[in-house]
Amino acid sequence: MAETVLSIEHVAVHFGGLVAISDMNFHVNKGEIVSLIGPNGAGKTTAFNVMTGFLTPAKGAVNYCGADLKGKKPHEIADLGLIRTFQRTSVFPNDTVYDNVLIGLHRQGELKGKLGLAEAILGLPRARASEKAQRARAAELVRWIGLEARANDLAGSLSYGEQRLVGVALALAAQPKMLLLDEPVSGMNASETHTFVQLIRNIRDRGVTILLVEHDMPMVMSVSDRIVVLNYGRIIAEGPPDEIRKNPAVIEAYLGQGAKDVVKEVAVHA
């Protein structure tokens, strides 16, 4: 029997009189790549915000690895191993790619209190060993995201797609057990998207469970084990890609948004 890592149970989110999400239920099993899709305004990013503590639901519960996340702050949820990326890139543009990742590793070390202030200032043996390990880890992450050749370039000089890769490396620096990716290939060209799909699979193969929100339907269909479809704040379909691409409710939801090209594109990749 599959082990459930994340479960969303009867979650509802209201903004005043607006119902953003109504009675949302789904789960993600360990080792899965699950995509949460839907037309613009369906409630996808709102769902991510609830899962990661940026929003408190009006009702319902979010459970991660058996822990109730209700009332927990974003950094507390991150400490449990549930890490997210955001739609906008969040790199340090005036630092190199390597230094961006190293900064991320240092911040994680500070948050987890791995070293005392005196040890770091005085450069005691444990501090030197920790610094050496972090530098090796930073180099490994840069290599893993495929940017080894640009390690010494300023992050701000990278293409948008490459900056998204750096953002993922920063998330991986937190050693996630589960990674939530918010529109990870937005703004990428076809080549960058292909590279990113391979990275997602590699991340999963290293034991990280993945939930992603994405509008690129061919990418979603190619990478997902299961797909959950939101429309107007409620789930209208859930299942493997082959079922979702033929689901009448899903096709109608996208056609209702005028997205005929999206549905045709999905059909082409059937």
| Shared domain check, 73 and 116 | no
- pLDDT value, residue 111: 43
Q: Which helix (H) or strand (E) holds 161?
A: helix 160-172
Q: What is the pLDDT of residues 194-231, one digit of tens each?
A: 989 999 999 999 999 999 998 888 999 999 999 999 99
| Shared domain check, 30 and 149 | no
Distance CA 81, CA 78 (A): 5
Q: What is the pLDDT of residues 128-176, one digit of tens each?
A: 666 788 888 999 999 988 899 999 999 999 988 888 889 889 888 888 9
| Shared domain check, 221 and 261 | yes
Q: Which residue has the higher pLDDT, 111 or 221?
A: 221
User: Among 157, 183, 198, where does a domain finish?
Assistant: 157
Q: What is the pLDDT of residues 240-261, one digit of tens each?
A: 999 998 899 888 887 665 444 5
Residue 19 lies in a domain: yes
Q: Which helix (H) or strand (E) holds 77?
A: helix 74-79
Residue 35 lies in a domain: yes
| Shared domain check, 146 and 73 | no
- pLDDT value, residue 117: 44
Bin 19: left if φ > 0, else alpha if -120 < ψ < 50, else beta.
beta
Number of domains making up the chain: 2
Residue 264, pLDDT > 70, answer no
| Shared domain check, 63 and 52 | yes
Q: What is the CATH number of the domain that holds 44?
A: 3.40.50.300
- pLDDT value, residue 132: 82
Distance CA 164, CA 108 (A): 19
Please give the distance of CA 72 from its chain centroid, rounded to a whole number.
19
Residue 162 lies in a domain: no
Domain boundaries, position 146: 94-157
Give yes or no for a contact between 233 and 212, defined as CB atoms under 8 angstroms apart: no
| Shared domain check, 100 and 63 | no
Distance CA 126, CA 41 (A): 50
Instruction: With H, G, I as helix, E, B as strand and everything else as coil, classify residue 45.
Output: helix
Residue 72 lies in a domain: yes
Kindly state the tokens that stand for 268.
Answer: 């082409």
User: Among 105, 122, 157, where does a domain finish?
Assistant: 157
Q: Which amino acid is at 127?
A: A
Residue 120, pLDDT > 60, answer no
Distance CA 196, CA 194 (A): 5
Q: Which amino acid is at 270?
A: A
| Shared domain check, 61 and 194 | yes
Give yes or no for a contact between 265 and 251, defined as CB atoms under 8 angstroms apart: no
| Shared domain check, 245 and 144 | no
Model confidence band, residue 265 (pLDDT cutoffs 50, 70, 90):
low
| Shared domain check, 103 and 67 | no
Query: What is the overall mean pLDDT for the chain?
Result: 85
Residue 151 lies in a domain: yes
Distance CA 232, CA 106 (A): 41
User: Among 124, 157, 190, where does a domain finish?
Assistant: 157
The whole-model pTM stands at 0.82
Give yes or no for a contact between 52 and 6, defined as CB atoms under 8 angstroms apart: no
| Shared domain check, 138 and 102 | yes
Residue 193 lies in a domain: yes
Greatest Cα pair distance, the chain, in angstroms, is 65
| Shared domain check, 263 and 213 | yes
Residue 99 lies in a domain: yes
| Shared domain check, 71 and 144 | no
Bridge partners for 239 per DSSP: 227
Residue 163 lies in a domain: no
Radius of gyration of the chain (CA): 20
- pLDDT value, residue 219: 92
Distance CA 201, CA 203 (A): 5
